[in-house]
C-alpha cells in the first residue's frame, strides 16, 4: 500500500512537472518578434517556494554559470553558501529545485545549453530610480530566443506593458542609457508597471524591436534573483573566453598593484 502511494505520488509529480513544462511552452508561443506581447509570466513549477523565503542573504553574490549543466547543482549549493547560508538541507533542496527549473526552461525553449546568472543582494538604493531598458538594445537580432527571469526572494523585476513606446530605450551603450535614466523614469509610469510574484517565472523578448521594457526593482529587502539564457555551444565558448580574459585582466591589475605597494 505504501509503495502504491509513493508510486502515485511520483506519477502525480511527473505529470505536474510535464504540465508545467507544457504551460511554459504554450506561454512561449505567445512571444513573437512581430507579435503583440513582449513578455509573459509563467508558473515556474517550483514545488517548495517556502525554501527560498528561508534562505538567508548576508552577502552580495553574483555568479555566471556558463554551460556545464552537470555541475549546476554544485554551483547553486556553493553560491547559496556564499550568500550566507549554512543549513545544508535547505541549500541542497533549493539547489535541486533550481536545477529542475533550469531543465524545464530549456525543455520549453527546445534548447540544450544555457547561461545561468544567479545573484543575491542586500537592500540598496541603486534602483530607487528605475533603470528602464531593453536587453541588447544596441545589438538587434531577431533570432535570439526570449530570456527567462525569476525572483526567488524579495522584490521582483518590473515590466512596462507590452504596447508601451520603446523608441527611447534603443541606445548604443550602457553609458548612454545611464544618462537617460532619469528621463526614462519620468517617461514611463510606475503605476503602469507590472511585476510577477515571487517564484513566478517571466519570459521576455530581448534584442528586438518588440523587446520588453523592464527594470530592476527598488531593492528594499534582501533579494535572490536568477536568469536563464539559452546559448549555443559557440556562444558558450565565446563567453567563457571573455570571462577568462576578464579574470586574467583582474589578476594582472591586482599583481601590478601589489608590486607598486612593495616598491
Q: Least distance from C-beta 215 to Fe ion, angstroms?
A: 8
Residues 99-158 interacting with Fe ion (rule: CB under 5 A): 135
How many residues lie near Fe ion (CB under 5 A)?
Answer: 1
Secondary structure letter of residue 263 according to DSSP: -
216 lies in the binding site for Fe ion (CB under 5 A): no
Residues 38-77 interacting with Fe ion (rule: CB under 5 A): none
Contact criterion met (CB below 8 Å) for 131 and 181: yes
- Nearest residue (CB) to Fe ion, 79 versus 149: 149
- Nearest residue (CB) to Fe ion, 42 versus 213: 213
How distant, in Å, are the alpha carbons of 70, 138, 195, 205 from that of 158? Answer: 32, 21, 5, 14
**What b/e readout covers 96-135, taking b as 16+ CB neighbours within 10 angstroms?**
bbbbbbbbbbbbbbeeeebbbbbbbbeeeeebeebbbbbb
Closest residue to Fe ion, Cβ-based? 135
Q: Least distance from C-beta 203 to Fe ion, angstroms?
A: 13
Q: Least distance from C-beta 252 to Fe ion, angstroms?
A: 30
Give φ, ψ of 245 to 5 degrees: -60, -40
Residues 160-189 interacting with Fe ion (rule: CB under 5 A): none
Q: Is 67 left (phi over 0), alpha (psi -120 to 50) or beta?
A: left
79: three-class secondary structure by DSSP: helix
User: Which cell numbers in the block locate residue 67?
Assistant: 554551460
Give φ, ψ of 243 to 5 degrees: -65, -45
Q: Least distance from C-beta 204 to Fe ion, angstroms?
A: 9
Q: Least distance from C-beta 119 to Fe ion, angstroms?
A: 12
- Nearest residue (CB) to Fe ion, 20 versus 135: 135
**Contact residues for Fe ion (CB under 5 A)?**
135
Amino acid at each position: 500500500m505504501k509503495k502504491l502511494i509513493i508510486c502515485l505520488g511520483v506519477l502525480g509529480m511527473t505529470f505536474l512537472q510535464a504540465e508545467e513544462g507544457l504551460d511554459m511552452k504554450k506561454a512561449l508561443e505567445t512571444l513573437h518578434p512581430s507579435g503583440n506581447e513582449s513578455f509573459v509570466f509563467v508558473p515556474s513549477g517550483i514545488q517548495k517556494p517556502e525554501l527560498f523565503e528561508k534562505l538567508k542573504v548576508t552577502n552580495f553574490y553574483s555568479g555566471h554559470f556558463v554551460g556545464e549543466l552537470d555541475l549546476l547543482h554544485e554551483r547553486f549549493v556553493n553560491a547559496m553558501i556564499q550568500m550566507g547560508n549554512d543549513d545544508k538541507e535547505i541549500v541542497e533542496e533549493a539547489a535541486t529545485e533550481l536545477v529542475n527549473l533550469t531543465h524545464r526552461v530549456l525543455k520549453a525553449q527546445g534548447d540544450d545549453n544555457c547561461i545561468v546568472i544567479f545573484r543575491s543582494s542586500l537592500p540598496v538604493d541603486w534602483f530607487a530610480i528605475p533603470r528602464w531598458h531593453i536587453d541588447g538594445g544596441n545589438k538587434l537580432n531577431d533570432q535570439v530566443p526570449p530570456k527567462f527571469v525569476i525572483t526567488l526572494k524579495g522584490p521582483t523585476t518590473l515590466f512596462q506593458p507590452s504596447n508601451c513606446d520603446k523608441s527611447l530605450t534603443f541606445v548604443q551603450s550602457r553609458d548612454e542609457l545611464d544618462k537617460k535614466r532619469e528621463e526614462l523614469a519620468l517617461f514611463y509610469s510606475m503605476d503602469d508597471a507590472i511585476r510577477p510574484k515571487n517564484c513566478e517565472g517571466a519570459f521576455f523578448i530581448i534584442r528586438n524591436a518588440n523587446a520588453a521594457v523592464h527594470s530592476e526593482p527598488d531593492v528594499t529587502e534582501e533579494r535572490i534573483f536568477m536568469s536563464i539564457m539559452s546559448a549555443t555551444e559557440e556562444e558558450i565558448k565565446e563567453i567563457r573566453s571573455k570571462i577568462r580574459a576578464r579574470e586574467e585582466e583582474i589578476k594582472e591589475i591586482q599583481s601590478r598593484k601589489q608590486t607598486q605597494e612593495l616598491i
